[in-house]
Amino acid sequence: MSRGPFDPTFEHLPRVIPVFPLTGVLLLPGGRLPLNVFEPRYLTMTRAVLAEEYRIVGMIQPREPDPADNRGAGLALRRGEEPPLYRMGCAGRIASFGETEDGRYMLTLTGLCRFEIAEEMTPLDGYRRVLADYHRFRRDLTDEADTEVDRSRLMAALKRYFVHREISADWKAIEAAADDRLITSLAMTCPFAPSERQALLEAPTLTERARTMTLLLEMAVAEDGSGSSDARN
């Protein structure tokens, strides 16, 4: 992705960032994510972040206990205990915000760079913070010139998937979109399961993310016995 005029350089990404844990929500570098903030601790977090120079928030998914784990009840959370987090999330900058009459913030985050949690810090005013390690993801702030996307296979899988899910789409706009914008937008907006979203986030490159998403689309249709459906343009 290209760095915007208000985005920090890699060297200026803050090490300690607040995180907003949301299951099934994905932010990727270069993506734009709308958020409706209403919980008191996250209203407090938003006010604190808006006072900072680069207004950085980490989006990350909670890791739910695996019901197949034979430790069973040993994984259950105690009352008031926060769920564990996936190791990897994505830092985003608050690019715009608005206030509502009923006391909510309406935010738009622009995805900047993925991070791994080096350490979870002591919560501040009820919201969670982490020590973010960005070193593996420097290229998130640059354009990937060597991206290779099997566009024809992806589009065929996407059309079958949309037909099966009864999702309407502007196919002219989709077909005109650049590879990076298309992959990022589809990964963030298609109704993938939380674990599938995490797999897309953790794909090392845009090329791998495109391959992973194509497989997810194909598998979703095949598992429902709809692989032979004709796509409607």
Residue 163 pLDDT greater than 50, yes or no: yes
Cβ atoms of residues 46 and 105 within 8 Å: yes
Model confidence pLDDT, tens digit, residues 66-125: 444 443 333 445 556 789 999 999 999 999 999 999 999 999 999 999 999 999 999 999
* Average pLDDT score over the chain: 89
Nearest to 28 by CA among 218, 206, 174: 206
Torsion angle of alpha carbons 69, 25, 90, 126, nearest 10°? -80
* Residue 12, H or E segment: none
Helix (H, G, I), strand (E, B) or coil at 137: helix
Q: Which residue has the tokens 């205990």?
A: 81
d(CA 27, CA 195): 14
Residue 227 pLDDT greater than 80, yes or no: no
Structure token pair of residue 66 = 């695996």
Alpha helices in the chain (DSSP H): 40-50, 151-165, 171-176, 179-189, 194-202, 206-223
Choice among 52-56, 61-65, 77-81 with the minimum mean pLDDT? 77-81
d(CA 193, CA 162): 16
Segment 147-176 mean pLDDT:
93
pTM of this structure: 0.87
Model confidence pLDDT, tens digit, residues 119-142: 999 999 999 999 999 999 999 998
